[in-house]
């Protein structure tokens, strides 16, 4: 392979060096808030213990040109998904419960129907905030330089930005403290790119807060999951907003908000009942609703939880994301955007948008796509296989997925990890998939990552202090790069003005034996970047 030899990573350490680096790393993590709550359920109301987040001992190599390309593409992605969220007809067709994915995927259908009901009442969002993360893997074919390929685009609960900044600071610290024992000439300060995700994501939330009101009495509401272990990743944003922007956050779950939230029927302002400065309880006005929950059916155990979600959407508070922006992050949207002419529809239509992108910019974005198709499509790879739908036979999309199963992953309309079907498991899964549910799934060509790349992974599974849980595991790995961005936009009749920024990055690394990649779901560890040529 031309350029950097990925198979040479990581450098070899002696047992003594490995143990010493592990002490340095875990002590730094515990000292600097690189933390998780322990896996003990139910979690206590007042936390009394924490463990360090799962982490990699070395940063992972990523070619500088691909890292710079990913950062460059984020601006286009920020604008693209902002425009997709404002195209009601497009989302109705692709994700709706009458003609799209929501017809066969109950969770998507519930969200779409709630959005449709609000529109029918004449309620639309004046402004939307997106905190995005575009995830990539290196695609490395034999005798070719690695290419950058997108795994997915996240429009809701784009997490681990703050802890990823802490990991990048940890790796810089290890280099300063030990020089990594000079085990590799690649480990140099200029190859550790800066990571300012905390300030960057907070700036997006602050921009939305300022757009809503200049009043310091309003607060940003973070909607959290029950028994949330990843609280520190969220708390660092709270501290940044308070220290740098004098904005206060309040945290509540959907269950709590069902009791504490209300929308003024005249002004549609959102108020929640929380302890205040002077009284044990009182209503405060909410400027921004920042969802770190509500992206999975598990967050909606009762119909009342959907009612609460739609109550929040009814308000004038700026949602991050709004329902249309959440729907825009669906896997089906990702697949449709890869179809011929779709990027041009949103990025190059000079009659609709004052800001358009060149064919070269659009092609560069398109070059980050892998091949995708819906399981319900016919031989044109675009429209549903009507003949198969009538006869009950397998569609062309399903037959193609069977034939190419060993090089594919099947994805449903789900976030959070643990939902995909891979390679050899695909044929048996297709045997059980009802024909009416095909539209809810897409097939995607697997990204071929560089072979024989390794790292030392450290996990802390308990608070027992067991040395066994702290022992680094040397294993072959796959590293996923995520680029963060935000956009604040409103609907002004089509040509929406988008305020946006690219604000940081993360790396998640997992063993090659794992197909899934979520940190919160236990598959990956947090990592950082080593730029290589």
**Which of the residues 82, 159, 368, 479 is marked catalytic?**
159
250 has binding-site annotation: no
CA 482, CA 500: separation in Å to the nearest integer? 17
Cβ-Cβ contacts under 8 Å for 61 (sequence gap 6 or more): 4, 6, 9, 186, 453, 530, 531, 532
**Which of the residues 152, 285, 394, 500 is marked catalytic?**
152
422 has binding-site annotation: yes
211 has binding-site annotation: no
271: part of which helix (H) or strand (E)?
strand 270-274
520 has binding-site annotation: yes
229 has binding-site annotation: yes
- 411 labelled catalytic: yes
- 508 labelled catalytic: yes
294 has binding-site annotation: yes
516 has binding-site annotation: yes
414 has binding-site annotation: yes
**Cα angle 419-50-21, degrees, rounded to a multiple of 5:** 90
- 195 labelled catalytic: no
The pLDDT of residue 461 = 56
The pLDDT of residue 462 = 46
**Which of the residues 33, 258, 378, 416 is marked catalytic?**
416
Could you tell me the two tokens for 472? Answer: 């680094």
The pLDDT of residue 382 = 77
For residue 409, which phi and psi values (nearest 5 degrees)? Answer: -130, 140
445 has binding-site annotation: yes
CA 115, CA 1: separation in Å to the nearest integer? 50
Would you say 257 and 308 are in contact if contact means Cβ atoms under 8 Å apart?
A: yes
**Which of the residues 238, 285, 313, 415 is marked catalytic?**
415
- 142 labelled catalytic: no
**Which of the residues 83, 103, 319, 331 is marked catalytic?**
331
The tens place of each residue's pLDDT in the chain, 533 residues long, gives 357 999 999 999 999 999 999 999 999 999 999 999 998 888 888 988 999 999 999 999 999 999 999 999 999 999 999 999 999 999 999 999 998 899 989 999 999 999 999 999 999 899 999 999 999 999 999 888 999 999 999 999 999 999 999 999 999 999 999 999 999 999 999 999 999 999 999 999 999 999 998 777 899 999 999 999 999 999 999 999 999 999 999 999 999 999 999 999 999 999 999 876 655 567 899 999 999 999 999 999 999 999 999 999 999 999 999 999 999 999 999 999 999 999 999 999 999 998 999 999 999 999 999 999 999 888 888 777 777 777 778 899 999 999 999 999 999 877 666 789 999 999 999 999 988 888 889 999 999 999 999 999 998 754 444 544 567 889 999 999 999 999 999 976 456 689 999 999 999 999 998 665 555 555 689 999 999 99
Would you say 144 and 135 are in contact if contact means Cβ atoms under 8 Å apart?
A: no
416 has binding-site annotation: yes
**Which of the residues 83, 133, 166, 332 is marked catalytic?**
133
447 has binding-site annotation: yes
Threshold 0.75, pTM exceeds: yes
419 has binding-site annotation: yes
Is residue 390 classed as helix, strand or coil in its secondary structure?
A: helix
Which value, to the nearest 10 degrees, does the dihedral of the CA atoms of residues 456, 461, 462, 466 take?
A: -40
**Which of the residues 60, 82, 154, 368 is marked catalytic?**
154
Cβ-Cβ contacts under 8 Å for 130 (sequence gap 6 or more): 78, 81, 82, 85, 155, 320, 321, 325, 486, 487, 488, 489
The pLDDT of residue 435 = 86
230 has binding-site annotation: yes
Alpha-carbon separation of residue 520 from 54, 482, 504 (angstroms) = 10, 15, 20
Q: Pick from 292, 274, 294, 293: which is nearest to 284 by CA?
A: 274
- 159 labelled catalytic: yes
219 has binding-site annotation: no
**Which of the residues 83, 166, 319, 508 is marked catalytic?**
508
Would you say 209 and 218 are in contact if contact means Cβ atoms under 8 Å apart?
A: yes
């Amino acid at each position: 392979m031309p350029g950097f030899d990925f198979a040479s990573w990581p450098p070899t350490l002696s047992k003594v060096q490995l143990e010493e680096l592990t002490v340095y790393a875990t002590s730094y993590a515990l000292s600097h808030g690189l933390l998780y709550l322990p896996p003990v359920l139910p979690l206590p109301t007042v936390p009394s213990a924490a463990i360090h987040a799962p982490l990699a001992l070395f940063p992972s190599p990523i070619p500088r040109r691909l890292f710079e390309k990913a950062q460059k593409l984020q601006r286009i992605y920020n604008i693209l998904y902002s425009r997709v969220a404002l195209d009601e007809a497009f989302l109705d067709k692709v994700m709706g419960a009458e003609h799209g994915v929501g017809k066969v995927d109950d969770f998507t259908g519930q969200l779409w129907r709630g959005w449709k009901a609000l529109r029918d009442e004449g309620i639309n969002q004046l402004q939307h905030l997106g905190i995005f993360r575009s995830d990539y893997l290196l695609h490395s074919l034999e005798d070719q330089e690695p290419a950058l390929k997108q795994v997915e685009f996240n429009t809701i609960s784009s997490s681990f930005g703050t802890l990823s900044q802490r990991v990048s600071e940890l790796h810089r610290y290890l280099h300063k403290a030990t020089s990594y024992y000079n085990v590799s000439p690649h480990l140099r300060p200029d190859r550790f790119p800066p990571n300012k995700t905390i300030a960057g994501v907070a700036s997006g939330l602050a921009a939305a807060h300022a757009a809503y009101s200049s009043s310091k009495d309003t607060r940003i509401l973070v909607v959290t999951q029950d028994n949330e272990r990843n609280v520190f990743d969220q708390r660092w944003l709270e501290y940044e907003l308070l220290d740098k922007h004098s904005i206060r956050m309040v945290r509540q779950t959907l269950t709590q908000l069902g009791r504490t939230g209300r929308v003024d029927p005249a002004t549609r302002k959102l108020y929640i009942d929380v302890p205040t400065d002077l009284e044990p309880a009182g209503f405060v006005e909410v400027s921004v609703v920042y969802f770190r929950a509500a992206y999975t059916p598990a967050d909606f155990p009762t119909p009342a939880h959907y009612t609460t979600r739609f109550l929040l959407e009814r308000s004038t508070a700026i949602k991050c994301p709004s329902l249309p922006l959440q729907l825009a992050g669906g896997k089906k949207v990702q697949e449709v955007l890869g179809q011929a002419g779709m990027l041009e529809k949103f990025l190059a239509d000079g009659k609709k948008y004052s800001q358009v992108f060149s064919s070269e910019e659009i092609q560069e974005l398109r070059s980050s796509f892998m091949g995708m198709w819906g399981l319900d499509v016919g031989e044109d790879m675009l429209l549903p296989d009507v003949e198969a739908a009538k006869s009950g036979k397998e569609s062309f999309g399903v037959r193609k997925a069977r034939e190419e199963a060993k090089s594919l992953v099947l994805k449903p309309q789900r976030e959070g990890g643990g939902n995909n079907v891979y390679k050899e498991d695909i044929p048996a899964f297709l045997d059980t998939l009802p024909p009416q549910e095909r539209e809810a799934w897409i097939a995607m060509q697997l990204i071929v990552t560089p072979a024989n790349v390794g790292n030392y992974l450290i996990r802390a599974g308990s608070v027992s202090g067991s040395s066994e849980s702290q022992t680094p595991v040397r294993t072959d790995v796959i590293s996923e790069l995520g680029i963060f961005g935000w956009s604040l936009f409103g609907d002004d009749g089509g040509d929406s003005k988008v305020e946006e920024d690219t604000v940081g990055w993360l790396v998640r690394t997992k063993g090659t034996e794992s197909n899934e990649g979520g940190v919160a779901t236990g598959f990956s560890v947090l990592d950082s970047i080593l730029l290589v040529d």
